Amino acid sequence: MSEVYAARRERLRERCAGSGSAAAVVSRPANVRYLAGAAPSGAVLLLGRTEDVLVCGRPPGEEPGAERPDAGLRTHVLESRGGDPVVAAAGQAAAQGAETLAVEEHHLTVARHHALTSVAPALRLADLACGVEQLRLVKDEEEISCLRIAAEIADQALGELLESILVGRTERHLALELERRLVDHGADGPAFPTSVATGPNSGRGGHRPTDRRVEEGDFLSVCLGSCYRGYRSEIGRTFVIGTSPADWQIELYDLVFAAQRAGREALVPGAAYRDVDRAARHVLDAAGHADGLPPRTGHGVGLEIDEDPQLAPAAMGKLDACVPVTVEPGVHLPGRGGVRIDDTLVVRCEADGGPELLTITTKELLAL
């Protein structure tokens, strides 16, 4: 794997050089992990003129099971606890003869930026902006296979839950049980806080589980994901509790399903982000649900659960192949509940079979 990280750093170095910086300090944890193979707490990566260094506040990988940084990268552990790795990295950049240092202004605090200025006053600080995030957009097959496993784990956890008795159990308990099952099946942990929503709460994006119990006739919507080797998947499904869904439930389900399918089918390389959003959104708009729709119908996933691209009406940009995204439209009717259907897919060209669905749990309306 060492070459992978070195190649990523090389691509970033070219970008930096292109904008006049011979050195950069990367501080955002997911970016550090992407370039160094691990991001021990507080560690930063110096992309140096003569050498790259992972600067850590304490020895990395102390605990069993912790990720190991790229073996081809020098690791420097600060001697005094409480020192700031960003400041130490800037000192090393200056010692390597850098005149300009790019930093992640969208991550670094003003106070740390001041500290940099005072420790290396001769260094000109520039903005690396979202340079690393842009590199992270298109995934390699190794990354996609981690996402695939992350999605499989969530499918397994969800499948097991559906076989158990649900009526009478609280949203909180179901969410905790799902998270335990994720870990049982080999996840590092949940990719984000598991959402379980019943009855009037169902269909709400990001609903925080409450003590409400599952009742006959409820919609039950669940959104979960697992984190596997740092990569995060997302799946959302809505079920109905009891033997026969009401007519309004079937209608609403079919509508959201149609919107979600339209979104999935719009996932082709070259499609504008906003057009994918529009494909899904239009179906719901046309059925009179324009008000109260969520601001976006999907987003990228990877080392973070919420990455670019944003599938939203005002988003700029076009999809590339090998970009994993969620498609997750939903409708929530206040007081009654609603439906959300959420998949993680990888954009692929038609010759490769079109969008690759990672979350394979059925999207039929199951009555549990």
How many CB atoms sit inside 10 A of residue 182's CB? Answer: 26
- The dihedral over CA atoms of 128, 133, 135, 137, expressed in degrees to the nearest 10, equals -160
If the CB atoms of residues 81 and 291 are measured against a second copy, the closer one turns out to be 81
For position 247 contacting a second copy by CB under 8 A, the verdict is no
Positive/negative CA dihedral, 201, 203, 207, 209: positive
Say what the alpha-carbon torsion angle 262, 264, 269, 272 is, to the nearest 10 degrees: 50
Told to check if 65 binds a second copy by CB under 8 A, we report yes
4 binds a second copy, rule: CB under 8 A: no
User: For a second copy, what does the binding mask look like between residues 119 and 138, x meaning CB under 8 A?
Assistant: --------x-----------
Q: Is 365 one of the binding residues for a second copy (CB under 8 A)?
A: no
Burial class (CB in 10 A: 0-12, 13-18, 19+), 304: buried
Alpha-carbon 266 to chain mean position = 20
Query: What is the number of other CB atoms lying within 10 angstroms of the CB of residue 126?
Result: 17
Using CB under 8 A as the criterion, what x/- string covers residues 14-53 for binding a second copy?
Answer: ----------------------------------------
**21, amino acid identity:** S
Indicate which single residue of 82, 121, 288, 335 sits in contact with a second copy (rule: CB under 8 A).
82
Q: Decide: helix, strand or coil at residue 50.
A: coil
Choose one: 57-65, 223-231, 267-275, 276-284; the region binding a second copy (CB under 8 A).
57-65
| 335 is an interface residue for a second copy by CB under 8 A | no
DSSP string, 3-17: HHHHHHHHHHHHHHH
Q: Looking at beta carbons only, is 95 or 314 nearer to a second copy?
A: 314
Figure out which of the listed residues 38, 43, 103, 154 binds a second copy, where binding follows CB under 8 A: 103
Q: Is 336 helix (H, G, I), strand (E, B) or coil?
A: coil
- Block residue for tokens 């008795």: 165
**Sole window of 12-20, 179-187, 349-357, 358-366 interacting with a second copy (rule: CB under 8 A):** 179-187
- Do 213 and 330 form a contact (C-beta atoms < 8 A)? no
- Nearest Cα neighbor of 178 from 237, 251, 107, 133 is 237
Nearest approach in angstroms of CB 64 to a second copy is 5
* 66 in contact with a second copy (CB under 8 A): yes
Q: Are 175 and 209 in contact (CB under 8 A)?
A: yes
Q: Which of 68, 114, 306, 352 touches a second copy (CB under 8 A)?
A: 114
The token pair at 74 is: 């020098």
Distance, CA of 105 to CA of 208 (rounded, Å): 32
Tell me the closest approach of the beta carbon of residue 108 to a second copy, in angstroms.
5
Candidate ranges 137-145, 209-217, 256-264, 268-276; the one touching a second copy (CB under 8 A): 209-217
Residue 110 in the binding site for a second copy (CB under 8 A):
yes
Among 212, 213, 282, 336, binds a second copy (CB under 8 A): 212
Please give the residue ranges that form the binding site for a second copy (CB under 8 A): 62-66, 81-82, 103, 105-111, 113-114, 127, 172-173, 176, 179-180, 183, 201, 204, 206-208, 210-212, 295, 314
